[in-house]
Amino acid sequence: MRIAVFGAGAWGTALALAFHGPHSVVLWARNPARIEAMRRERENRRYLPGVALPDTLELTDDFAAAARGADLHLIVTPLAGLRDTVRRLQQIQPKTPLVWACKGLEAGSGRLPHEIVAEELGTDAPCGVLTGPSFAAEVARGLPTAITLASRDDAFIERWLPALHQPVLRIYANTDLIGAEIGGAIKNVMAIAAGVCDGLGLGLNARAALITRGLAEIARLAVALGGRPETVMGLAGMGDLILTCTGDLSRNRRVGLALAQGKTLDDILGELGQVAEGVSTAREVAALAARHRVDMPLSEAVDALLHRGLSAEQALDRLLARDPKHE
């Protein structure tokens, strides 16, 4: 079958490589110069340097050509591009099964990705999310990885789980979209906190405590929104949280490390050169927690650090000053 992948960043390129072979894959990027360089060099030097792109992997900047004739549309843009991409696909080839690999909450609306898709396509659209602990560089190099395909549609899972499952990219099914997406969103916020923790030299004990209490925050919000606790304990929750909080390839963790060094957010994002979804998500998580009266002190501290002028040391003092309570 033919899979069209929209977004040629690190993760989009890695997924295109993972599904290439058993399937015909076309990888789209909006920048013609980047696509031309990738065709010429057979490498995505900006996002995945050193990883060869096979000659049979199709590369294009023609959105309509990529969309037409595809059996599956796979959106791997930053979350900010999800809504517009869904709209464009609906205009070109409606009712095509859709999977997205975006994580976070939409800036301004606080919508989860599946809520954005439902607003654009309706609640009965055949769709789902790929999420879980996965660094693009490792997937692109064929290292073993396990992620989740979450969808409310059992028929969709039955159709696409065996099609997407690969020997070294193992995919597990889940019908809890809310839990899967909350895990994928908030783990980026926690990774910023973990980076600050390590950057301040607080030690491994403190990082373990942060990850554990971060998982508790994810679970509280997921359940408040209708998700299931067991999802938070799986790949899309705990698995993704551990990876992103401890792995040096994590962009969000690097943001936290730089904040601990006293760098400004603008300078950090400029040096990073890629989207760190936890930055915008932190504000939306804090607002969502307030609306649902869910206690999320770590998320609130990260929001204050990023967007309300709090320093890393002040954020730490605020957390350490909290009253003792039952776990």
Provide the annotated active-site residues: 187
- Dump the DSSP string for 160-211: HHHHH--SSEEEEEES-HHHHHHHHHHHHHHHHHHHHHHHTT--HHHHHHHH
Q: Rounded distance, CA 212 to CA 307, Å?
A: 24
Q: Which ranges of 42-176 does DSSP label H, i.e. alpha helix?
A: 63-67, 82-92, 113-121, 136-140, 154-164
Q: Rounded distance, CA 262 to CA 257, Å?
A: 9
Query: What is the β-pairing status of strands 72-75 and 98-100?
Result: parallel
Single-letter amino acid, residue 35: I
Q: Rounded distance, CA 168 to CA 147, Å?
A: 11
Two tokens, residue 322: 């909290």
Buried b (16+ CB within 10 A) or exposed e, 223-243: bbeebbeebbbbbbbbbbbbb
* Residue 11: φ, ψ to 5°: -75, -40
> Is 159 exposed, middle or buried, given 0-12, 13-18 or 19+ CB atoms closer than 10 A?
middle
Two tokens, residue 80: 């900010």
